[in-house]
Structure 1
Amino acid sequence: MYQIGQYIIYGNTGVCKVEGLVEKPPLGLYYILKPLYESGTIYTPAEHPKVFMRPVISRDEAEALIDQIPQVVAQPDRTKNLQELREHYRTATCSHNCADLTRLTMSIYAKKKEQEQRGRRFGQVDERFMKQAESILFGEFAVALGIPKEEVHTYISRRVEGLRTVQA
């Protein structure tokens, strides 16, 4: 059971704060969740949830993931079949794993740079999933690191650059 005030990941909504717990007879206990970066309120079963939920990672876990970024090999998906591409991206975002989201974001970003260098337009599917993965990942990092979501990209860049300086 999650505690009131705890931050959790709720499906592809991203970070939510557990605002309360309410009994809904005959259905049972429901969490009242408040998304941090979206409006609205979510009521979801506390027992046998239908949507993936887990606690937000810790600061140490977030920093360890960021520190591993220089070793991540970005492999752009070059499939021409949009259905396959969507499914590949959906699978990665639905894993709810920060390492998978980091790899996905970096791979799509590498594809974007590749397309720009060739003078080609970046695909809408790629753009949509890159924004979705980044939003979920940066939202979780923001809570774990105790910084605003808008500052996460800068934080990551500085930390990775600092690692490169130390290693040089």
Structure 2
Amino acid sequence: MMRTTRIVRAALIAGIYVVLCLVLQPFSYGPVQVRISEVLTLLPVFTPDAIWAVTLGCFLSNLFSMSPWDMLFGTLATFLAAVSTYQLRHIRFKGVPFLSCLPPILFNAVIVGAEITYIFMPETASVPVLLFNMVTVGLGQVVSCGILGLLLVKTIEKTPQLRGWVEANK
């Protein structure tokens, strides 16, 4: 029963990620993006199941970008971010896991910023263009993870029903 619950929880998280990307599609793809579904990359604060869930959700969402590069690099960025978020989950300042939101911001800024620069804009690729793309992707991640993601974490922590559903051993 425990295994089934974990699989269902992971599938729901992946599904929510995909739905958020598709419903908010104009904001989810492109050089300037605020992928709201990335708030879910903070769920590894509660359960390692969320690592695979958000990775799968990102991969499935990136199928809609029609780019095999985005399927590879965007998914890799989310996977590395989720693993690192899980590793940082216990480091808190005033009860808030601030460091947990840094991996999704940094991995996406660097990896997706480089992907946009060198794969989608090779004719204009340069260090200034790379830095610009890293900053724009990073700013979108600050909104998604640094602001909304931390709000989601605090909401889950204050809501016993949500916390019970999302935690690994429930």
The reply to whether TM is greater than 0.5 is: no
Give the TM-score taking structure 2 as reference length: 0.30
Greater per-residue helix proportion: 2
Bigger relative contact order (CA 8 A; separation at least 6): 2
Structure with greater strand percent: 1
